[in-house]
Amino acid sequence: MITIIGVLVGMLLYRFPLWRRATATWVAALASAPTVLMYPLFLVIFGRSAWTIIMMGFVAGFPPVVLKTIEGLVTTRSVLVNVGRSLNLSSVQLFTKILFPAALPTIFTGVRLGLIFTLINVVGVEFLINFGGLGQLINDLAERYDLPGTYAAIFFVILVSILFFIAIEKAERWLRPAG
C-alpha cells in the first residue's frame, strides 16, 4: 500500500513542479526525522490499537518511496525524452514508454528503503506497546528468558524480510523492460 500511494504521490509531485517545490523539503524532513518520536502522538490520536502500528509503518516507509520516485522521474536522461518528443509521443505515451521505465530502478530503490524502514518501525512499535505481532512475541519470549524461542522469532522476522525483498526483486524484474 505504501508503494502504490508513494509512487502515485511522487508522480503527482513530478507532474506539478510547484507542488514539488512546496512539499519536497517537508517530505525530506519527514524522511530524516526519527519516526519513533511520532509514537506518542499516534498513541494519543489512535490509542493502543492496530492503527498506531499501521501509521508508524506508513510514516516511516512513505517518504523514501516518494522521494525516490521524484528523483527517478526528474533524473531521466533528457536524450530519452527528446527522442520521445521527436517521435511525437503524447504526454501519456512519453510517461508510460520512456519516463516511468527509465525511473523504475530508482523507484524500486525507494520501495526497498521504505520496506526496511516500515519493518523496523512496525516490529519496534509492536515491541513497545505489546499489542500483538512479532514484536510482542519477541518481547514476551525475551522476558521469560526463552532464548531459543527469542532467536527463532528474530530469525522468522529476518526470513519474512528476505521474502519481501525477493518479492520486490521479482516485481522489479517483471516491470522493467528487457535489456
Percent with pLDDT over 70 in the chain: 98
* Mean pLDDT (whole number) for 2-21: 92
Rounding to the nearest 10 degrees, give the CA dihedral for residues 23, 28, 30, 32: -170
pLDDT tens-digit readout, 76-119: 998 988 888 889 888 899 998 889 999 999 999 999 999 999 98
pLDDT tens-digit readout, 126-150: 877 777 787 888 888 888 998 898 8
pLDDT for 177 beyond 70: no
pLDDT tens-digit readout, 38-79: 888 988 998 888 898 899 999 999 999 999 999 999 999 989
pLDDT for 179 beyond 70: no
* Mean pLDDT (whole number) for 14-40: 88
CA distance 9 to 16: 11
CA distance 14 to 7: 10
pLDDT tens-digit readout, 150-171: 899 889 989 998 999 899 989 8
* Domain-wise residue ranges, the chain: 2-129
pTM: 0.84
Rounding to the nearest 10 degrees, give the CA dihedral for residues 1, 61, 39, 37: -160
CA distance 144 to 142: 5
In the structure, what pLDDT confidence band is assigned to residue 125 with cuts at 50, 70 and 90? confident
Task: Output the pLDDT for position 112.
Answer: 93
If one looks up domain 2-129 in CATH, what number appears? 1.10.3720.10
Task: Output the pLDDT for position 108.
Answer: 93
CA distance 76 to 84: 12
Task: Output the pLDDT for position 114.
Answer: 93
